[in-house]
Structure 1
Amino acid sequence: MPKASDSEVKLQHIQKTFGGFKASNDVNLTIEKGRIIGLLGPSGSGKTTILRMIAGLERPDSGDIYIGGQRVNDIEPGKRGIGFVFQNYALFRYMTVRENIAFGLTIQKTPKKKIKERVDALTELVGLKDFGHRYPMQLSGGQRQRVAFARALAPEPELLLLDEPFAAIDAKVRKELRGWLRKAIHKLGITSIFVTHDQDEAVEVADDIVIVNRGHIEQTGTPVEIYQQPRTPFVADFIGEAVHVPDFTIFKGFENGRASGAHEGIIRPEFLEIGANDSEMRMPLASETGTVRGVYFRGNNAEVDVEVKGQLLKGTRSLEKPPLHEGDTAKVFIHRIYSFAGGRTEILENRAKRIDSVII
């Protein structure tokens, strides 16, 4: 079992194949002690396989897994010092909340006094102090997930793994539980790794996000780094509300393209300024004319789809401005574009902004 003083996790050159499907393709990952890591990717990307190999529920075909500096490839799951929270809670329905939380300690034959003290502390931590004698079916989905969280923590693991922990919970409770979970994990200081396909979930909970695609890691970084500095076309396309543009040289300010000849790119909603007419635009001469194809109320603003030169772009517009309607003519200024070349991304600023900044 890893020492409490060192819970760093390392995966080195991990390969895992199921039949003809390569679930992990030379996966290399280092996780610092005390960090909350979100494994984010589309279905079938290999993120759950990584989690299960760390837990010992799957064995890599090759490569090494280290927890706390110890190679754990041949160590059985129960001896890796890991707490695991399953997507479907996996609670024992005929056991009370307290009995569920105490289960692991009971199996370890922990003294009853210590079990009681540990369960008391955990029911307090997860906000279920007054629910200890209830059964799982008497709890809400969010409360059940808190019990599963407490049960995983009961044996005092050095590493916590969570497999889509909010998937079975309704949207409102899920949002509340995200903030609670992040605070609880940071309070404990336990290294944690969770799997999700929900971008909002990853951004709100994780200290660092690992983007997984087709069995390999595309990028690792903080939520801000991942969003603002995508390193590959996949990350730029996968994160946020991105619109793929086959040839960005059709737009004003980007006509010259790149010397490499790569003209493929991504445009995000925040890269656009959308106005009803020239008077609303800061740079009317550099703005495109388009047709509104859809307007959607989003609470604090309106999401607007505008067709410009045959390309449907997505942007936002303040509700304080005169409303746009489907079929209206609109003005669009594209501030920047993510350009692809050689499997990498580069941010291109509109030429009009560059010229304007020189004049100023």
Structure 2
Amino acid sequence: MVAVPREEAALEAAGLVKNYSAGRNKPPVEALRGLSFSAAPGTVFGLLGPNGAGKSTTVRILATLTSPDAGTARVAGLDVAKEPDRVRRALGYVAQKPGTDPMATATENLLLAGRLHGMPRRAAAARARELLDRFGLSDAADRPVRTYSGGMARKLDVALGLTHRPPVLFLDEPTTGLDPRARSEMWREIAGMAADEGMTVLLTTHYLDEADRLADRLAIVAHGTVVAEGTPDALKSALRGDAVHVELAADARSDAPAARAGAAPDARTGAARAALSALERVPGLREITVDGTTVRGRTDDGARALPPVLAALDEAGVAVASATLARPSLDDVYLRHTGHTLEAAR
């Protein structure tokens, strides 16, 4: 196991740029555009963003699986370009796709992983038993992985990443496709890795609740760059006041999704134009957007602002299905920095 000095960042990315060829006579696809962040040892650091935002490309660069076109990256104090072999020994990597042999048993998969990491056979066998017990897989240890449920298979994937006791673990969308119970169990394991073992966990996710619950600090990624970084609470607290969410009636669906105040005239048509025009006149309401049938805005006093909001929409002839007030959420943070919600970006 490679030790990470406490005063040194466990993960660093500085100005990462990565382009992929899109084919002959086509401009390259910009996967990363100067992405930067750092993560402290013994924490869960989240990369939050929709599919295609650049999260997996970032992880692949940090894991030495691909090289950046520009920028630098360090893992456990090691330069990924200059010391790739040492970097690989310092990290565990759990990719989105399964990394197990479905025809082999869980024990066989873990033994192979241990041997590939240079562990003596006896030590690899002991570590396999330890991980099977930790993830509740002991009773299924001698069954082929192809017979496992999705949650069991994902637990085994994470166990494989922990075989050599790495100080840094990469989890790329670890709970995608899991049922609520399996997700909850995985969350407990991830939280424990940092809190109980001092491991640094890099978590990529497009689930707002997952990032909010697990990440000690997170970076919101959009179009290959970090648009906001901080603790979940700090990012939400930076949004002053209350969030006003109004769901328009189905027959009021906008023909201009993701319209927002100040948008070009051709984007403000139909119900979106009527709603935006009405709400721009409500005192104290700001950051107004209309996304499909959802109207959002911010105000310093939601209880006082809601009646005028509903009255303005009624006067404009825009039918309302429901209205709620809420404290700022990570989706509101994403909306503030990108102009649309995370759900709309998927």
TM-score, normalised relative to structure 1: 0.68
The DSSP-based 3-state class of the residue aligned with 1:200 is: helix
Alpha-carbon separation, structure 2, partners of 1:151 and 1:183: 17
Deviations 1:14-63 (A, max 9, x none): 11111322211112211100111111112221111111111111110111
1:73 to 76, 81, 85: 81
Determine if the alignment matches structure 1 residue 110 to structure 2 residue 119: yes
Decide whether aligned partners of structure 1 residues 269 and 307 sit closer, same or farther in structure 2, where only a CA change above 3 A counts. farther
Find the structure with the greater CA-based Rg: 1
Say whether residues 1:187 and 2:207 are aligned partners. no
User: 2:310 aligns to what SS in structure 1?
Assistant: strand
Structure with the bigger RCO (C-alpha within 8 Å, sep 6+) is 2
Kept in 1: contact 2:54–2:224 (CA 8 A): yes
Q: Does 1:209 align with 2:218?
A: yes
**Matches of residues 251-270 of structure 1 in structure 2 within 5 Å?**
251-254=282-285, 266-267=296-297
Residue matched to 1:287: 307
Determine the structure 2 residue equivalent to 1:166: 175
Alignment check: 8 A CA contact 1:288 1:308 kept: no
User: Per-residue deviation at 1:223?
Assistant: 1.5
Aligned residue identity for 1:267:
G
Structure 1 residues 63 and 230, CA, compared in 2 at 3 Å: closer, same or farther?
A: farther
Distance 1:91 1:10 in 2: 29
Q: Is contact 1:11-1:64 (8 Å) kept?
A: yes
Identity in percent:
25
Match of 2:150 among 141, 145, 162: 141
- Judged with a 3 Å threshold, the aligned counterparts in structure 2 of structure 1 residues 287 and 98 are, in CA distance, closer, same or farther, namely same
* Alignment counterpart, residue 15 of structure 2, candidates 13, 30, 41: 13
CA RMSD of aligned residues (A): 3.7
SS of residue matched to 1:66: strand
Whole-Å separation in 1 of the counterparts to 2:114 and 2:53: 35
The residue type paired with residue 282 of structure 2 is: F
Query: d(CA) in 1 for partners of 2:315 and 2:140?
Result: 57
Query: Residue 102 and residue 307 in structure 1: after superposition, are their counterparts in 2 closer, same or farther (change >3 A)?
Result: farther
Using a 3 Å threshold, how does the CA distance of structure 1 residues 289 and 118 change in structure 2: closer, same or farther? closer
| CA positional deviation for 1:150 | 0.9
Partner residue, 2:250: none
Question: How do 1:117-136 and structure 2 match up within 5 A?
Answer: 117-136=126-145
> Gaps (5+ residues) in structure 1?
237-242, 258-262, 274-282, 292-305, 318-337, 346-360
Query: TM-score scaled to structure 2, two decimals?
Result: 0.70
Counterpart-to-counterpart distance in 1, 2:62 and 2:152? 27
**What letter is aligned with 1:69?**
G
Is 1:60 equivalent to 2:68 in the alignment? yes
The size of the alignment, in residue pairs, is 285
Gaps of 5+ in 2: 22-27, 244-257, 262-275, 290-295, 326-331, 340-346
Which amino acid in the other structure matches residue 69 of structure 2? D
Q: Aligned partners of 2:184, 2:144: CA distance in 1, in Å?
A: 24
Task: Report the AA paired with residue 18 of structure 2.
Answer: K
- Would the aligned equivalents of 2:227 and 2:337 in 1 still touch at CA under 8 Å? no
Aligned positions of 1:228-247 closer than 5 A: 228-229=237-238, 246=261
Residues in 1 aligned to 2:299 and 2:103: alpha-carbon distance in whole angstroms: 50
